[in-house]
Structure 1
Amino acid sequence: MVTLRRALHFVFKMGDRSKTETFYRDVLGVKILRHKEFEEGCKATGNGPYDGNNIISGTDRDGSLASPSQETMQYFVFLCITSYIAVSNDKWLGWQLNEVGKGLYLVEAPGGYHFYLVDKEQPPNDPVQKVCLAGSDLQKSIHCCSSLLVMKVKESNEETVLMGFAATQCKLELHNIVGTVDQGTAFGRIELSCPREQLADLEALMTKGNHKILTILVSLDTPGKAWLAWTPLVLLGDPESNSHQSTT
């Protein structure tokens, strides 16, 4: 049953919605799947039938970032996408693009987020290859992700560890840093999908191990969206205060 788990999307905090939408739509070539305004805080960032691909979600409900580049780069290292179309779009639109290796480019998105673009044919399953976050204690993070969330360790050394579920899905890479991870007012959240019947056991496992639970098991009421109605979720915190949202 754990093989049914997968990464759904990563949540960024936006400082400039217009520029952010332009970057994702015109440079990366992604589609805007859903846009919703909240009058109050949302229990979770939504989920939906996204054909198995990893999704990028943005929120600006708390206002713009005070110092985006400083705060985001403390915990968010980069996101890697394989798409020659994104590289071509970037060059055509004149977005600042730095070649850091053969067929590998670095571009900075609004808010200070770093994206690596691989100039190759887009994979049929998912162009998003991995998201890299900072960590000050890799062993604790590995335990949280592998032992509790049942991710498999794909690669590891003293500085980084690469983990994930299926080989064709987006991976999570953790990069070791000296000192604590200071997120400031920025934040990141990875939403993971797992079978509904596993959520209560996952929450109990986190509680037993004295791990942080940011939101206890709740259900989302979303009128008008039958595919999302009463979707249960639990929001978990890892040792670095990055959060993992598990949903069905």
Structure 2
Amino acid sequence: MGGGRVKALPYVLKVGGRPSNIRFFRELLGMTVLRHEEFEGCKATCNGPYDGKWSKTMIGSEDKHFVVELTYNYGVGEYRLGNDFKVIPYFNDTKKNALLGYADNQCKLELQDIGGPVDHGTAFGRIAFACPREELPHIEEQMKKKKNQKILTPLVPEAFEELSQTDPNANDLLNDAMASDKSEEWFAKGKMQKPSA
């Protein structure tokens, strides 16, 4: 096999929830849909041992590199995951970050390579998300039972959203609070340093 002439073909993943999978690859990972095709069946069982309508979507960074083929069978809701597949490393040599978000008009979370192990220290934060109230009990239940995750703040009233409403005086209030903060001077007078948490 010639070194530069051999190219891996797409890795095929059978997906049951096409919209959520497409959103993951396209919006969260920033991949591009390179090709999409719809089929009525396949005698060669390209889509697996299933009859009926199916599709394949080639998605990746660009067509010169490895891509993923998402095979969707209209009559299949989900697939049982085995333990044969663990990871597709997705990175490039120049970017050492990932930008994640739910929609173009919402804030983004950028993850950056820091060149070593993560040390959360004591100043680590957390993030809050807003969603319709009727969805919260289901989300909490999933996190507690299925994902074994801790809910830091259980279901709260929708008025919580008021915390992120714009206050036209916020900048002045912050500046005033910082200007009137004399804690550094207080510690200095007592020949002390502010303690670390």
Please report the TM-score for the alignment, with normalisation by the length of structure 1: 0.31
Please report the TM-score for the alignment, with normalisation by the length of structure 2: 0.38
Larger-gyration structure (1/2): 2
Q: Which has the higher contact order (CA 8 A, sep 6+)?
A: 1
